[in-house]
């Protein structure tokens, strides 16, 4: 879930940026004020290894000015490894900027400790605290219910139940990936084919336009989106060491992703008390718009430290965790039988037309204001429309020979992939 993990990195960068801009309170009388610290080049680490046999991943970036950068500068060409308590070293390589994956698949094992080691190209060395799996817990049930939430919005709520037979697991973090089916409402077995287009030809534009059978399947697609917030739960103060009806996701009934078939994969990570506290604070910081004015850096203590420089600041966390997952499918009609489907946000219900051609881009003579929409030829070239039929009824304020539809309505690949996921079940 790279998107999710990059979101957490962005939260850290955003937090640091606001600290740089707003924080002026001293931590202790003998401490240096926050605004005098050099945060501009702080290493940001996000690493979580699990008990899944896979290529594990470490994300590295550098903090920078919050006003000037929205994407964290990636830490390139670092040496990254993880060492376990039996002195086994797992080497990582940089698969893409700032992303390091293990050279070979491996899994974290209970009873072992693990330590992250990083050597950067500028000669800095970092190491983490020794971390280990604190427990395991199963998701016993993943289910959806039609509810009205506290804001009065009706929709679908996704819940989980879990169970910890060992009573060792009390803190949890959740991530999800949701996948939904897309059906192009105005799909047509024919489409435009534009070739030899010269928009600057004189005296008029030149092109070849054909109406041809579709060459690819683009009526039914699927789109997958990862969660982008920190979701946590604790059973510490519950009577039993289990969660019942813990809400993972709420989707309003008017959300278009529910229109056809919907699936969600939920992953549950068992956290230590320290990791839970770290991500809980990070989540609260990222959700609040006015809390930063009195933030002190000690509120987000990293477990990754620069060797030989105890005063250096590092952001991020190295976590070793067990993970379990469960998947759920449902259709809109399973819960809203006979009721109206969510409204398509792309205006697919209306018929559209436009002039076929446009004035040459290189025409320099006098011209009148053009009240008509973008020509069909320009729209085809831009990839924003599809063929919807012949315009025999001259529909439109500036009718052309063809009916057209936005690509979101005529070609599902503008919104997702036409490859059915391996896990998909209709």
Write the CA distances from 105 to 55, 56, 57, integer angstroms: 4, 7, 10
Specify the pLDDT at position 1. Answer: 52
pLDDT confidence band for 13 (50 / 70 / 90): low
Distance between CA 34 and CA 353 in Å, rounded? Answer: 60
Q: What does pTM read for this prediction? A: 0.85
Residue 14 lies in a domain: yes
What pLDDT digit, counting tens, does each position of 135-179 carry?
A: 999 999 999 999 999 999 999 999 999 987 677 789 999 999 999
Q: Does one domain contain both 350 and 306?
A: no
Residues 8 and 130 in one domain: yes
- Look at residue 83 and tell me if it is in a domain: yes
**Number of domains making up the chain:** 2
pLDDT tens, 81-131? Answer: 999 999 999 999 999 999 999 999 999 999 999 999 999 999 999 999 999
Q: Residue 367 — pLDDT band, cuts 50, 70, 90?
A: confident
Whether residues 11 and 86 share a domain: the answer is yes
> 198 in helix, strand or coil?
strand
ω into 154 cis (within 30 of 0): no
The pLDDT, as a whole number, for residue 32 is 35
Q: Is 310 exposed, middle or buried (0-12, 13-18, 19+ CB in 10 A)?
A: exposed
pLDDT score of 295: 40
Task: Determine the structural domain holding residue 350 and report its residue range.
Answer: 190-217+344-414
Q: Does 81 share its domain with 195? A: no
Is 330 domain-assigned?
no
Asked if residue 194 and residue 46 are part of one domain, the reply reads: no
At 30, the pLDDT band (50, 70, 90 cuts) reads very low
Q: Verify that 366 and 302 share a domain, yes or no.
A: no
Mean model confidence pLDDT for the chain: 88
Q: What is the pLDDT of residue 368?
A: 85
Residues 197 and 54 in one domain: no
* Token pair of 225 as six digits: 């989106």
Give a yes or no: residue 158 inside a domain. no
How far is it, in rounded angstroms, from Cα 401 to Cα 390? 6
Whether 90 and 203 share a structural domain: no
Judgement on whether residues 6 and 127 belong to the same structural domain of the protein: yes
Region of 106 on the Ramachandran plot (φ > 0 left; ψ -120 to 50 alpha; else beta): beta
Distance CA 177, CA 328 (A): 11
pLDDT over 70, % of the chain = 85
Task: Let me know whether 308 and 360 are in one domain.
Answer: no
DSSP-derived 3-state class of residue 233? strand
The mean pLDDT of 7-27, rounded to a whole number, is 50
- Asked if 202 and 360 count as a contact pair (C-beta separation under 8 A), the reply is yes
């Amino acid at each position: 879930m790279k998107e999710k993990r990059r979101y957490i990195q962005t939260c850290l960068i955003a937090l640091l940026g606001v600290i740089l801009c707003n924080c002026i309170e001293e931590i202790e009388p003998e401490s240096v004020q926050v605004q005098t610290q050099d945060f501009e080049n702080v290493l940001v680490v996000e690493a979580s290894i699990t008990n899944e046999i896979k290529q594990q991943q470490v994300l590295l970036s550098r903090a920078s000015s919050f006003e000037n950068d929205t994407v964290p500068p990636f830490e390139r060409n670092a040496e990254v490894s993880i060492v376990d308590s039996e002195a086994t070293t797992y080497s990582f390589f940089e698969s893409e900027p700032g992303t390091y994956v293990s050279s070979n698949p491996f899994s974290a094992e209970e009873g072992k400790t693990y330590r992250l080691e990083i050597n950067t190209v500028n000669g800095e060395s970092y190491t983490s605290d020794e971390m280990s799996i604190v427990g395991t817990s199963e998701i016993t049930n993943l289910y959806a219910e039609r509810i009205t939430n506290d804001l009065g919005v009706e929709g679908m709520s996704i819940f989980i139940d879990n169970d910890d037979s060992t009573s060792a697991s009390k803190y949890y973090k959740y991530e999800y990936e949701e996948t939904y089916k897309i059906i192009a409402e105005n799909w047509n077995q024919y489409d435009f084919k534009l070739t030899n287009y010269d928009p600057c030809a004189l005296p008029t534009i030149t092109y070849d336009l054909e109406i041809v059978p579709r060459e690819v399947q683009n009526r039914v697609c699927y789109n997958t989106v990862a969660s982008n917030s920190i979701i946590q739960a604790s059973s510490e103060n519950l009577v039993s060491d289990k969660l019942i009806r813990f809400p993972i996701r709420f989707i309003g009934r008017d959300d278009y992703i529910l229109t056809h078939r919907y699936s969600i994969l939920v992953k549950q990570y068992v956290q230590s008390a320290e990791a839970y506290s770290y991500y809980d604070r990070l989540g609260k910081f990222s959700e609040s718009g006015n809390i930063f004015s009195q933030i002190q850096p000690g509120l987000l203590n990293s477990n990754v430290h620069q060797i030989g420089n105890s005063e250096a600041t590092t952001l991020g966390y190295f976590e070793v965790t067990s993970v379990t997952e469960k998947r759920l499918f449902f259709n809109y009609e399973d819960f809203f039988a006979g009721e109206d489907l969510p409204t398509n946000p792309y205006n697919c219900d209306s018929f559209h037309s436009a002039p076929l051609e446009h004035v040459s881009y290189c025409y320099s003579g006098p011209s009148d204001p053009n009240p008509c929409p973008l020509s069909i030829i320009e729209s085809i070239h831009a990839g924003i429309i599809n063929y919807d039929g012949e315009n025999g009824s001259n529909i439109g304020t500036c009718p052309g020979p063809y009916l057209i539809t936005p690509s979101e309505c005529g070609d599902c690949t503008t919104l997702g992939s036409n490859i059915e996921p391996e896990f998909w079940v209709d």
